[in-house]
Every structure is written in structure tokens, then in C-alpha cells.
Amino acid sequence: MSGGEIALARLVDAIPDLEAEVILGEDGPVKGLLEKAGAKVTVLPLDETARDLRRASIVPSLALVPVLVQTIRYTLRIAREIRRRSPDLVVTNSLKSALYGGFAARLARVPVVWHMRDHVGRESLTAPAVLLVRLAARFLPCGVIANSESTLASLRIEKYARAGAERARRRGPSDDERERARKAPAFAVIGDPCPLAPVTMEERKGGPLTVAMVGRLCPWKGQHLFLEAFARSFAAGDERAVIVGGALFGEQEYASALEEQVRSLGLCGRVDLVGHVDDVSPYYERADVLVHASTAPEPFGQVLVEAMGHGNVVLAARAGGPTEILTHGVDGLLYTPGDVDELSRALHLVASDEELRVRLGSSARKSAVRFTPARIGPRTKAAYYDMIRRARQDAVSKVPA
């Protein structure tokens, strides 16, 4: 399961009076997770040619024709389901579903909100795909919820809204709000929900310093950079590292390269590559430090908040969502993305200063409260109601007198 799917399940659980009906494009473990959270789940299989399309493959070509045909068929099928269920609101939970779900909701004449948890930029998408998503964002959803200011900025919604408001101002102030509502979707920035761990700093056991990385194995997540920095910081000693996560989306070659890197750096016996696990909590509980080493801006960073909630000291790349979660020197440390030397110095600093670790870990746990389901659930629910209200007002304004 991806972070977006986990966040969705937590959100459903955090809004108890939400009657959530979730449509999935394929069966899998997320179905059980959502049902456990209280959602009614239906699996409407999306054809593999469309489901398995990778973002880096979205370029104009004849090869995309079968994908487009299958996606259109699926969109019409989803639209029929929406009309049959007649919900108050449709919420899309991924970049791909934002497009087909957005068109389906429009066909069914139901307000649709994009819940964006991915950056829209050239670091993960082709230029045509970036253009398509940014244009669609201006017309398909009635509202956008982004998990960070960084994610929202990548969608360019704010710029479009400001431009529309400026045009409305020049035409006359009386129609400003109505014009802006019609020309651009509403937006809100709400972090992903992350439960606070039921532990205290006093419960943390002693022993060798343990540094963890948690996340799927892929080059842009930076596990290879972390291993290099760990080797430089602790060439000799009893410090340990643990990398939690499996290789998805054809990244098995990278996973094998990490195993070879551990051997070549002489870290055998001090680094554990544990693979995928369903529950990462025990690894946070055993860790002293959590490293985030992504080379591209992270949209949010659920792993960071989870680790903070366990009292870990968090070292994160200074880009994207982490800069909105952490305050450098207060509840964590930030370093330049991809800078192995700077990460190595940060690791050495927290390893050699126990008082600093205690202070940062304690502050991190307090900061993590901002993102608990009890805080995020009501904010998201309020955003849903606000966006439904805006959509209905806009629909009424378009009805001829």
C-alpha cells in the first residue's frame, strides 16, 4: 500500500459520521484496511493497460491509444456508479484517479474534490502529463485539498485563482467572489493524519544508537545516500542502521544494489535491510534517529510525522513537505537534499550529543500532535462541507433567471 492509501484509511476512520463508499481499480490489501476503517468498498477492475501505465510513459504516441480507450470506458462506468449512488461529494485520492474520477463526477453532475498527495512536476511526470494535470485542475474539481503548501504550489491553482480574482477586480468588485468561484476551484492545505504512538521517551531502551529509514526502495528516496552517509559517520563503532521497505514498481534492481553497497562499505552485520513490513511501529520504537533522504521534494512525509510521534530525532532533506513539518533545530534537523557530507555531519552531531537527541525527540513528539487524526479529521470534514457549499452556490449562479 502507498502512503496515500494509508492516509485515506486513517481519514475515513477519523471522520466517524462520514458515510464513505470507496471504489478501487483493483483488489488488494487496501480493501481490507478501508473496510476495517468503516468504508464500504467496491472493486471495479481497471484494465491492466491503463492501470499499469507509468507516469514516465505519458507522452503523445499511438501506444497511448489503447490506454485512452480503456480509460474512457472506465470513466463512463464510474460515472454510472456515481449516478446510481448519488453521493454528496466525490473525492479522488490519487493523481490517476483525479483525471478519470474527475471526468466521471462531472458527467454524473456531482461535485468532485481532488485530494492531492503528489507533486505535479517534471521530477515525476513527463512535460505533457504535467500540462494535462495542471489544466485539468482548473476545470474538473470544485476544490483541491493538498497535503502541503509544496504540493499545492506544484499544481499552480493559487496562481490561477489570483489571476482570476485580478480580472474580476478590474471588471467590477461586486462580482469578485462569484467570478473567482466559477473560474478556479477552492483549495485547502491539510496534512495527512498520523496517529500518535502510545509511548514515552522514558520507555526508550538503551543500547547502541540505531538509525532508521522507512519507505519503499527506489533511487529518489535516497537509501543509497543514507548508507554512504552512515558509513562516513560511523566507520567504526557499534551504531546500527535499519532500512525498512520493499521494492515496488520494478525497483528490484535497486534493492539488489543496496545489498551490494552494504557489503562494499563494510557494513555487514551493522545494517539490516528488512524489506516490506505491514507494521513499522516496532522499528520506530527501537530507533533513536529517523533519516529522510529523498533527492526530490517530498509532497508531505507521513514517515516523518510517525517517527516524530515515537520521539525519534528526525533528519530530513530541506525541500517540499518536510520543511513545513519540521523546524530546524527545534523538533528536527534539515539538510541540503542529496548532500551526503551534510547528512553525515548531522548524523555525527546527534550521535555525539545525547542531550540534543532528548530535546529534539521530545519537541518532535509534541509537534506531531498537529497531525493526529483527531486534528486532521474535523479540518478535512469542514473542507468537504465548504467545497460542497461553494459548488452548489456556483451551480445556482449559472441557472438562467
Cβ atoms of residues 304 and 319 within 8 Å: no
pLDDT of residue 85: 95
What angle do the packed helices 252-264 and 223-233 form, to 10 degrees?
10
- Min mean pLDDT across 31-35, 129-133, 164-168, 284-288 is at 164-168
Domain check: are 185 and 124 in the same one? yes
pLDDT of residue 237: 86
Confidence of residue 82 (pLDDT cuts 50, 70, 90): very high
pLDDT of residue 59: 63
Confidence of residue 123 (pLDDT cuts 50, 70, 90): confident
Domain check: are 126 and 152 in the same one? yes
Question: Which grid cell sits at 178?
Answer: 462569484
How does DSSP assign 132-176, residue by residue? HHHHHHHHS-SEEEESSHHHHHHHTHHHHHHHHHHHHHHH-GGGH
Residue 378 belongs to domain spanning: 3-193+374-397
Confidence of residue 60 (pLDDT cuts 50, 70, 90): low
201 against 95, higher pLDDT: 95
pLDDT of residue 223: 97
Domain check: are 278 and 355 in the same one? yes
What pTM does this model have?
Answer: 0.88
Domain check: are 123 and 27 in the same one? yes
Domain check: are 92 and 25 in the same one? yes
pLDDT of residue 202: 52
pLDDT of residue 267: 95
Share of the chain above pLDDT 70, in %: 87
Q: Give the Å distances, CA to CA, from 138 to 78, 121, 122, 123, 201.
A: 21, 16, 19, 21, 46
SS3 call for 273: strand
The count of structural domains within the chain is 2
| Measured distance CA(66)–CA(71) in Å, rounded | 9
Domain check: are 315 and 294 in the same one? yes
Strand-pairing partners, residue 314, are 290
Domain check: are 171 and 214 in the same one? no
Q: In whole numbers, what is the pLDDT of the chain averaged over residues?
A: 89
Domain check: are 270 and 188 in the same one? no
pLDDT of residue 6: 93
- Note the pLDDT tens digit of each residue in 243-254: 999 987 668 899
Domain check: are 335 and 236 in the same one? yes
Confidence of residue 66 (pLDDT cuts 50, 70, 90): confident
Confidence of residue 265 (pLDDT cuts 50, 70, 90): very high
pLDDT of residue 199: 62
Domain check: are 152 and 243 in the same one? no
Query: Hey, what amino acid is at 280?
Result: V
- Note the pLDDT tens digit of each residue in 342-371: 999 999 999 999 999 999 999 999 999 999
pLDDT of residue 158: 72
Domain check: are 225 and 356 in the same one? yes
16 against 158, higher pLDDT: 16
Strands 240-244 and 271-275: parallel
| Measured distance CA(288)–CA(357) in Å, rounded | 8
pLDDT of residue 174: 52
**With 90 as the cut, is the pLDDT of residue 337 above it?**
yes
Q: Residue 323's domain is classified under what CATH number?
A: 3.40.50.2000
Instruction: Please name which of 343, 309, 347, 305 lies closest in space to residue 326, comparing C-alpha atoms.
Output: 305
Q: What is the largest CA-CA distance in the chain?
A: 79
Alpha carbon 278 to its chain centroid, in Å, reads 18
Q: Give the Å distances, CA to CA, from 289 to 17, 211, 284.
A: 37, 5, 9
| Measured distance CA(104)–CA(319) in Å, rounded | 34
- Note the pLDDT tens digit of each residue in 168-197: 556 655 555 555 545 678 999 999 999 998
Question: Which grid cell sits at 240?
Answer: 546500527
Strand-pairing partners, residue 291, are 315
Question: Which grid cell sits at 46?
Answer: 481497471
Per-residue pLDDT averaged across 208-218, rounded?
95
Domain check: are 86 and 235 in the same one? no
